Structure formats: C-alpha cells, structure tokens
A and B are shown apart, each in its own frame.
Chain A
Amino acid sequence: GQQLNQSPQSMFIQEGEDVSMNCTSSSIFNTWLWYKQDPGEGPVLLIALYKAGELTSNGRLTAQFGITRKDSFLNISASIPSDVGIYFCAGPFHSGGYQKVTFGTGTKLQVIP
C-alpha cells in the first residue's frame, strides 16, 4: 500500500523562526493534503494541492506539490506558539468505490517562546 514518510519526525524551533517539513511517497498522488492536529483533537485541513508543481499559500503557511507527484513540502514562516502540534501530509486514493485518505507519519513541531 501507499506509504507517506515525513521528515523531520520532530523539531524544536524558536518563536519567530521559519519551519520547513517534507513528505515523500512511494506512489504517485494526484492530490496532496496537509493537516494539523492539536493534542487531543482531530486533524484540521490546512492546505490542499491539486496540481503537480503547484505552490499554495494559506497565511503564513506555504505548501508545494512536487513535480514528480511523489513529494510535497510545507513551510511555516515566522512561527508562533500556537503553531505547536503534529503536522500530517495525506494523500487521497480510490479503493473499493470510496475515496480514502492515507496519512503520513507526522512531524511534531514544538515552538519555544
């Protein structure tokens, strides 16, 4: 099955710094999704990417869909304490008549005030 590997696994950064994390896949995806999960909560969609090479921003977040369709990165600029959480990439795929989503391994972000 599809595997999405994220790096780094965990990172500590100083408030105000920029952050970059990436996601690579063993399979091609036609859509890439980036989610954030706060402790004890469900994931919330941050950015959706639909086209290879696409660069999309949402406030301080920027994500790019790799040209090979096997990778994506997420950047967070000028980090703030509320950016703390786990960031997951995810890829939708069709199986058994449903559009399902497979999640990456996650990147845990800690922001030091």
Chain B
Amino acid sequence: GAVVSQHPSWVICKSGTSVKIECRSLDFQATTMFWYRQFPKQSLMLMATSNEGSKATYEQGVEKDKFLINHASLTLSTLTVTSAHPEDSSFYICSATSTGVNEQFFGPGTRLTVL
C-alpha cells in the first residue's frame, strides 16, 4: 500500500515553454502533498506544501508564480513549471501523506531537462 506515482518520468522541453508534472496517490487519499526539487549530487529541498482544495504554501525563495501547484483532489497534485529555463532543469519529487499518518510516501521523481 501507500504507492505514489509521478508522470512523466522524464521530460525535455524548450526554454520558455511550460511543463506540467502530475503526482498521484494510487491507493490512499492524500490530504497533504509536498513537492521537492533535487539538483545533481544534492539533497532534496522542499519547494511547497499543499492541502487538497486550498492554496499551496511555498518555502522561502521559491517563486509561486513560476511553480504553480494545484491539489484539486485527494489523489492528484500537479506542479506546472511556467516559462521554464535551463536553470530549472532538475529532479522533481513529490510525496503524499494523510491526516494522522506519521510518514510521507515519495513518488519516483520526474527528471526535467530544459534546453
């Protein structure tokens, strides 16, 4: 149980375009979802936290207008990287949890390459 999927696994896009990444909880209802970014040889850095049906809260230094997060249902959150640039190339990982659950379940990650 507690499986989280991400789609796509890898995306390559041109500079200036927008990219949407999906995060789904497959066998549980995720009241809270988290989005992380991981640059090569670095640790995971939390970008934002979202509750179903409400606005995401962003960590310091993360531009909310550039990284749009929509947590429309208890099983789906999306991260849209708007007007992507090469410096946005990174590994984006989501995690999900439920109320009362003391653990975050991580997705397999999405590798974004911006040319």
Binding site for B on A (CB under 8 A): 31, 40-45, 48, 88, 92, 96, 98-106
Contacts and interface: CB of A to CB of B under 8 A. Distances in A.
Given A42-B93, A96-B49, A98-B32, A103 B43 contact: yes
Interface class of chain B by DSSP: strand
A100 B49 contact: yes
Given A96-B49, A100-B34, A100-B49, A42 B43 contact: no
Interface string B28-45: 000010100000001111
Given A41-B109, A44-B106, A104 B34 contact: no
Given A40-B111, A42-B93, A100 B106 contact: no
B73 interface: no
Given A100-B34, A102-B46, A103-B45, 5 more contacts: A42-B93, A42-B107, A43-B44, A88-B44, A92-B102
Contacts, number: 46
Majority secondary structure, A binding face: strand
B107 A88 contact: no
A18 B7 CA distance: 37
A44 B109 CA distance: 12
Nearest to B43: A103
B113 to A, nearest CB: 13
B65 interface: no
Nearest to A38: B108
Interface in B81-115: 91, 93, 95, 97, 102-104, 106-109, 111
A-B interface, 7 closest residue pairs, ranked by CB to CB distance from nearest: A42-B106, A103-B43, A103-B44, A42-B109, A42-B93, A42-B108, A98-B49
B17 interface: no
Contacts of A98: 32, 49, 57
Contacts of A45: 103
13 contacts: A31-B102, A40-B111, A41-B108, A42-B107, A42-B108, A42-B109, A88-B44, A96-B57, A98-B32, A101-B46, A103-B44, A104-B43, A106-B42
